[in-house]
């Protein structure tokens, strides 16, 4: 099966966006390798009209799952609106896209059903949000919830308060400390928490990823009470898969998340606490496979291995 190039846009004298990743022995005793990334940006603007006819010919509005990485947010928004996308929209938020892209980037979040954020994204967003709103600064001084949890609430609220599709859940990767998934909940049966230190256990790495449920409530600056459930999943460890290079770990985690969501859609599996726990475990294992060799694609889970791991969880 070859690669379908029919959707490629060829522009004379245009330089494509690409990155070189140089992996070298680390000077830090805690890390095996250092990574240096040299990025070359696209040399001209990317416009939706370049893809519009291709999208309509292939009915790309009628898709089950759409993944966006936050780049070219203006094009992604045009695509979603023009194609009337009704499938599950997943957006990766690795870092804030400041500058002229910022407004489109935030609007794109509001059009997503699921967002996956990096360990540092919550703080970036919270710092930006506080600088834009003095009322939020005053409110934060009054609540007894940590900034990490406040940032998750604000991101989730950003998604819920739009007139677009309401997101299902939010995932945050935490590197060697594992990952979390947050959903809105009505009841508060789980252990109540007020900070990340209440969630992340001392034993953050396990040969068989374990999960634990927590919950927290927060009253926003308008006096509205919100309730959330957080699933914490330990990072995965396997003696046969030593951590060598972290290049591509986040991409592998996201790919496994998309694989899991596709399983949910294809098999009509409800997205509840049980299924989300399985998602976090599977994605954690997938990331470790990638990290067990130098390079992003040297050792990744193939479809056969994915099915085997999925069925064992």
Output the pLDDT for position 77.
92
> Do residues 151 and 170 make contact, with C-beta atoms less than 8 angstroms apart?
no
Q: What is the mean pLDDT of the chain?
A: 82
Q: Does the pLDDT at position 16 exceed 60?
A: yes
**Token reading at 128:** 């930006």
Question: Residue 24: which residues within 8 A CB-CB, separation 6 or more?
Answer: 33, 34, 36
**Mean pLDDT value across residues 160-177:** 71
Rg (the chain; Cα; Å)? 20
**Mean pLDDT value across residues 155-174:** 72
> Do residues 147 and 126 make contact, with C-beta atoms less than 8 angstroms apart?
yes
Q: What burial letters (b/e) apply to 257-278, b meaning 16+ CB within 10 Å?
A: bbbbbebbeeeeeebeeeebbb
**Mean pLDDT value across residues 159-188:** 75
């Amino acid at each position: 099966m070859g690669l379908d190039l029919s959707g490629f846009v060829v522009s004379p004298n245009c330089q494509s966006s690409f990155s070189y990743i140089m992996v070298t022995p680390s000077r830090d005793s805690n890390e095996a390798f250092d990574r240096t990334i040299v990025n070359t940006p696209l040399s001209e603007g990317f416009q939706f009209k370049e893809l519009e006819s291709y999208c309509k010919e292939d009915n790309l509005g009628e898709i089950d799952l759409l993944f966006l990485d936050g780049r070219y947010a203006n094009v992604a928004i045009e695509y979603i609106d023009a194609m009337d996308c009704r499938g599950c929209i997943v957006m990766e938020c690795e870092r804030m896209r400041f500058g002229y892209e910022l407004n489109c980037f935030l609007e794109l979040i509001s059009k997503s059903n699921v967002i996956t954020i990096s360990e540092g994204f919550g703080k970036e967003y919270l710092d930006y949000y506080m600088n834009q709103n003095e009322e939020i600064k005053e409110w934060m001084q009054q609540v007894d919830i940590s900034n990490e949890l406040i940032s998750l609430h604000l991101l989730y609220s950003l998604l819920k308060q739009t007139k677009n599709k309401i997101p299902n859940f939010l995932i945050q990767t935490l590197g060697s400390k594992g990952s979390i998934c947050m959903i809105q909940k009505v009841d508060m049966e789980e252990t109540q928490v007020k900070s990340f230190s209440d969630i992340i256990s001392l034993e953050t790495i396990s040969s068989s990823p374990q999960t634990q449920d927590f919950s927290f409530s927060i009253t926003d600056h308008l006096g509205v009470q919100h309730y959330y459930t957080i699933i914490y999943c330990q990072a995965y460890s396997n003696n046969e898969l030593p951590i060598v290079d972290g290049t591509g770990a986040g991409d592998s985690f996201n790919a496994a998340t998309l694989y899991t969501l596709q399983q949910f859609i294809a098999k009509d599996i409800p997205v509840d606490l049980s299924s989300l726990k399985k998602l976090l475990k599977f994605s954690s294992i997938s990331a470790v496979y990638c990290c067990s060799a130098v390079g992003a694609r040297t050792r990744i889970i193939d479809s056969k291995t994915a099915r085997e791991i999925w069925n064992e969880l």
